[in-house]
Amino acid sequence: MKARVAKFAAGILLALTVPNALAAAQTTGGGELGPDYVRATASDFGAGRFPGAGLPTALPATESAYDWSRAVTGGRCVVFSGPIPPELLASVSPLPGIVVFPYAPLHVGTLQGAPPGAVRLDGTAPLPPGATAAGAFVVDTATPRAGGSGVFVVPRCAAPGERLPPSPPTAAAIWQQTPLPRATVHASPPGTREWPGIVNLETHFWNAALPDARAVVTLDGYVVSVAAHPIAFGWAFGDGTVTVTRGPTSADAPARSTYRRRGDYEVGLYVVWAGLAHVTAPAWGLDFGTQYLGTVTLAVSGGYHVAEIRALLRSRTARG
């Protein structure tokens, strides 16, 4: 009997010291990429689905930092096949014809839609024979709306009905296109049927170290360079208790939980990612600088089985 008890106790100690991933762990971010990376979805913004409080989070912006508008100058983009008539010389200027004053927060992009040799012609005078109109000369302007800085302009020879440039991507849209490393959870005891957690004995949980995420994504002609870093980790142990750490856990410094009842629990790890994005529009020659993306919280979860150790007392009947 003593030998059986000693063998069972040794098995428990072994289970407490051998790491193993949670069974059937699944990342809940919906933008699935593969076994190692996942994209966030709208339900992951801010604190995501974390069932407790205490995570440092900030909702990503869902509107663009800039709003485009178009100013009609009254000028035309014109290509003259020969010398410019003297009567039009006072109305002609080179393209793009935008003057930038020192220290002004104005960023001028590349002239768009102008054929070779085009100039700006102001006024409504009829064109001489051989001259060709290449559209109206307009200035598209991106002004700050939510967190932007500076004013960005793009001079353009616009054809009738030509649309404004698309707005720079929102923080929410950028997150949804950025691959982030998946978390991997370990537990001791492992929480399987063979090696369950034990009622009233401490269980250790930790996650494998996560690298910073760097990615370049293209959205509506904008090139976005993203840098993201995990800033906090939330644990939900499935029994109503949660804990939050600012740094990653490890086998030497785990998150700890003690289950009071036997049964099957759903354990979740919620990783908070904060990010910065550098946004450029190469086709228009514009650099919109760096913006804060807020946070997303990606969860990985899996089942955890807890068993109970019970003492069984037997009495011997005395024989006469």
For 297-317, write each residue's pLDDT tens digit: 999 999 999 999 876 666 665
CB-based contact 29:44 (threshold 8 Å)? yes
Query: For 207, which DSSP code?
Result: E
Name which of 256, 243, 240, 293 is nearest 54 in CA terms: 243
> Angle at Cα 54 formed by Cα 52 and Cα 55, nearest 5°?
95
Radius of gyration of the chain (CA): 32
Whole-angstrom distance, CA of residue 272 vs CA of residue 45: 9
Q: Residue 119 to residues 95, 112, 116, 132: CA-CA distances in angstroms? A: 5, 13, 9, 11
Q: Please, which pLDDT band fits residue 155 given cuts at 50, 70 and 90?
A: very high
Which sign, positive or negative, has the C-alpha torsion 195, 197, 198, 204? positive
Q: Tell me the mean pLDDT in the region 253-271.
A: 97
Q: Please, which pLDDT band fits residue 175 given cuts at 50, 70 and 90?
A: very high
C-alpha dihedral, 138 to 144 to 148 to 152, nearest 10°: 20
Q: Please, which pLDDT band fits residue 22 given cuts at 50, 70 and 90?
A: very low
Q: Please, which pLDDT band fits residue 4 given cuts at 50, 70 and 90?
A: very low
Longest Cα pair distance anywhere in the chain, in angstroms? Answer: 138
Question: Both tokens of residue 83?
Answer: 């010398």
CB-based contact 101:145 (threshold 8 Å)? no
The mean predicted confidence, pLDDT, of the chain is: 87
Q: Which residues pair with 154 in a beta bridge?
A: 140
Domain ranges for the chain: 19-64+171-307, 66-158
Whole-angstrom distance, CA of residue 288 vs CA of residue 277: 10
Fold of domain 19-64+171-307: Immunoglobulin-like (2.60.40)
Mind giving me the DSSP string for 42-63? GGGBTTTT-SSS-----PPPSS
CB-based contact 162:274 (threshold 8 Å)? no
pLDDT number for residue 13: 31
pLDDT number for residue 320: 47
Looking at the predicted structure, is the pLDDT value of residue 211 above 50?
yes
Q: Tell me the mean pLDDT in the region 16-40.
A: 53
Name which of 236, 296, 244, 242 is nearest 269 in CA terms: 236
Looking at the predicted structure, is the pLDDT value of residue 288 above 90?
yes
Whole-angstrom distance, CA of residue 147 vs CA of residue 170: 11
Between residues 7 and 153, which one has the greater pLDDT?
153
Q: Which residue has the tokens 């089942």?
A: 303
Name which of 123, 116, 117, 220 is nearest 164 in CA terms: 220
Query: For 42, which DSSP code?
Result: G
CB-based contact 209:247 (threshold 8 Å)? no
Q: Please, which pLDDT band fits residue 98 given cuts at 50, 70 and 90?
A: confident
Q: Please, which pLDDT band fits residue 20 given cuts at 50, 70 and 90?
A: very low
Render pLDDT for 106-133 as a digit per residue (tens, 0 to 9).
899 999 999 999 999 999 999 999 999 9
Cβ contacts of residue 192 below 8 Å, gap of 6+? 20, 23, 305
